[in-house]
Structure 1
Amino acid sequence: MSQYTSTILVTGGTLGLGFWAAYELACNFPNSKIIISARSDKENAVDRLDELVQKRNSSPSNRKERQIGFRPLDLSSTSKVRKFVEDFAAQGYPPVSSLVLNAGVQFHEGKEVTLSSDGVEMTFAVNHLGHALLLYLLKPHMTTDARIVFVASGVHDPAQKTGLPDAKYETAELLAHPTDKNGYEVNQGGFQRYSSSKLVNVLFIYALEERLKKAREAGRSNWTVCAMDPGLMPGTGLAREMGPVVMWLVTHILTRMLWLLKLAIRSQNVHLPQNSGKNLAFLASKKGPDAMQSSGQYFEGARAIDSSVDSHNKMKQEDLWRWTVDFLAKDGEEKERFENF
């Protein structure tokens, strides 16, 4: 039997925002098992987190079971997400009290479409589909008051003038399987696909909140959900697609010149991953009335703000939900389970 009373799962937890959120959660919830996931842990994030947590606590842990663990997860493949959940259940971890859906990819060059092993455009597959399936499959392994946080981005909102192409959502099918119809594939490069995937994150939490609200009213569960914009963060893993030189400049130079970035983009929403990680951990740890009050909200850091006009489109929310369930469910029985919150 585990020495811990609950599990906190952070996707993309080996570096950047996810790493620092896991660090804050491990420090603040010593009775929770922290599982970080990513495709690999080349940076030995578990060891680094252990060291940082013990340093902050000023004493080594006397627990026989390590608090922080790593499980490999490839969100681009539905079969691998299913295998992850099977392995997770077999490990006998305590139920998940907080699910932090942070991992993401961004393709920077060209307009060529990269497809996942399931034949889905890769940005949409990782940033949305993999996380949606993970949530659906983890439902039996979550506490009755589980907190779910999606990491979105201000780039989903054209009104914020972030410098990235405006997000575009016509249908989930077109994002998943882009074609030349209406010039959709031609017009959507890697940056725009990323913006669109972040709009998808916000649309999805609103559709999910509609179901969670009914479940709370019916007394079936007290799950809550929110989305967070962590701001522009030099030093995160998104820059890895730009190559090692740009990654080095972003990680080692721009992180020391936040004032210049704020001036350049005319926004104060620029943060180190450590600071945004603290805000993400804060939102992920909300329970009780605070969690209920903030469920279905969109946050910039720790502050609730309104999301884009397009994100409140009910038809788009329902189109996304219906398409996602239909695509991910392997049969009618599973479809019903995915729907039943």
Structure 2
Amino acid sequence: MISSLLTSHSHLLRPRDAPILQKAISLLASLPQIPNQNQTQNQTQISKYTLQALRILEKEMTETVITLRASLLPLFSGLSDVDKCMVEMGVIARMRAASAARVDRIERWVDGVSTPRVGGDGNANANAGGPPPPHPMALAAFMMGLPVFPGALGPDDSDEEDADTTDPFGYFDSLDSSSAVDPELEDLREELRPRIKERFDGWVEVGSVMPGGAGVLLRVYIKILGLMPFFRAGDVVDEIISRLSEKPSKHYICVALDTVAAFCKLQKKVVLREKKRKAAAATNANANANASTSRSHAASSVNQGGAIPTPARSLAGIGGIDDVD
């Protein structure tokens, strides 16, 4: 029943339904391990339900990562150039940790990928003077009589260097501020605030106990580094979080970044541990092969030399006792 419902109606699930879906996936993966028809007897027997659960796990984790990246792009538009970010992360990774040169390089890179603020003259310049122009959507809403919170039109934020236009109506800032005590906004607050951290943590927990889940977690880790290469360096993530920490409406991004960074750190340890294990296994295999080769050469030398002559045969060959008078 669960399998058929997920096959035919999974498109109706919303991101907020992640906890329910996670429980369903855990139950699906725990069903009896009936062999898949496409598998041979020598392959690990995994039920078709577990395979379906693994596919859903990877899909949901990937979508959660994409959601996090989509939340970052309006604030750090330079992250869209993944190839350039990979090159820069390679340079930063080769620098000594906590060195002044590395810290300066990280700060300059974050400044470079940050979305520039539009100044009063309409030019994209993070240091442009004058108040920013009103956001078109906020201005249109104001003209139609829709509620627009103070600061949504822009001029009041003119002294804020990192002002952005990702919240034109000011809803998120108003809902997350300490002055928002209206109980009628509680449902709206919960509806609009993405729960990326909770979703990602839940899927990681499911994958860590699911048969075959470790492989899915590793593939998701590789996808994360492909979409957001800055997760290769923890201090780069910390710098991005520090830039967002002063924005109450971006707190959900900060905690999500911290969660994904911890996941990447753990998966990196898993990868390094697996490399060491393979290297040790290869070393042992080479040592055994060399020992076997040495024994084979020794046995071959004995066989090629023939039987060792006895003293009697040697004496008989030269006359021996029969020649004595």
Q: Normalising to structure 1: TM-score of the pair?
A: 0.23
Higher relative contact order (CA 8 A, sep 6+): 1
| Higher-helix-fraction structure | 2
TM-score, normalised via structure 2 length: 0.24
Q: Select the structure of larger CA radius of gyration.
A: 2
